[in-house]
Amino acid sequence: MAKAPKLKVFTTSAGFHDALVAAPSRAAALRAWGSDRDLFARGAAFEVTDPDLMKEPLAKPGTVIRRLRGSEAEQFAALPPDPPPAGRAKSARASTAEAAPKGTKPSANNLKKADAALQEAVKRHREADAAARARVEAAQRERADLQRQQRSEEDALRAERDEAQATYDEAIERWREG
């Protein structure tokens, strides 16, 4: 008769919880936790020796038991204090600018020239766009007129052909009866 393997209880941290499992080996505990890393080698998991902590996992071998680590008040107390509200931090550039004495006011001439050039270009572009739009509209009107003329000519020629076909058909019929 095979002997049941001796179970040990292992634990690892899972956020605000401890994950406890009763398993025959460290490898089995890692499998139960779903870990592909050796948490024991990293010091993130260890064997439990406290009898009170071992009771529940030993009652359900292979099942991961989650236990809250401390109370909510203890968890909040362990958090680092909130940082003071951040005011507007001055950059190193700003602090050196404040330290430098004010000289003469910079000239806005280059800015005005650039703005005028931009406005002129926008005006030229709008005019060119309007001219191109007018050419497109004129071409569309010309195409519509051309299509009307072509339809009219084709209709007249179809009527002429239909009349010639009818005359030919009558002549053939008379010839056959002939």
Show me where the domains of the chain are located.
Answer: 8-69, 108-177
87 backbone dihedrals φ, ψ, rounded to 5°: -85, -175
CA distance 56 to 38: 24
> Is the C-alpha dihedral spanning 121, 123, 125, 131 positive or negative?
negative
Residue 99 has pLDDT above 70, yes or no: no
Residue 178 has pLDDT above 60, yes or no: yes
Question: Around Cβ 31, how many Cβ atoms within 10 Å?
Answer: 14
Q: What pLDDT is attached to residue 88?
A: 63
Q: What pLDDT is attached to residue 14?
A: 82
Q: What pLDDT is attached to residue 67?
A: 87
Which of 2-11, 19-28, 39-48, 58-67 bottoms out in mean pLDDT, i.e. has the lowest?
2-11
Segment 58-79 shows an average pLDDT of: 80
Segment 101-125 shows an average pLDDT of: 91
- Give the 3-state DSSP-derived string for the chain, with helices as H, strands as E and coil as C: CCCCCCCEEEEEEECCEEEEEEECCHHHHHHHHCCCCCCCCCCCEEECCCHHHHHHHHHCCCCCEEEECCCHHHHHHHCCCCCCCCCCCCCHHHHHHHHCCCCCCCCCHHHHHHHHHHHHHHHHHHHHHHHHHHHHHHHHHHHHHHHHHHHHHHHHHHHHHHHHHHHHHHHHHHHHHC
Residue 97 has pLDDT above 60, yes or no: no
pTM: 0.41
Q: What pLDDT is attached to residue 161?
A: 95
Percent of the chain with pLDDT over 70: 87
Any idea what the Cα angle at residue 97 is, between residues 94 and 100, rounded to 5°?
Answer: 155
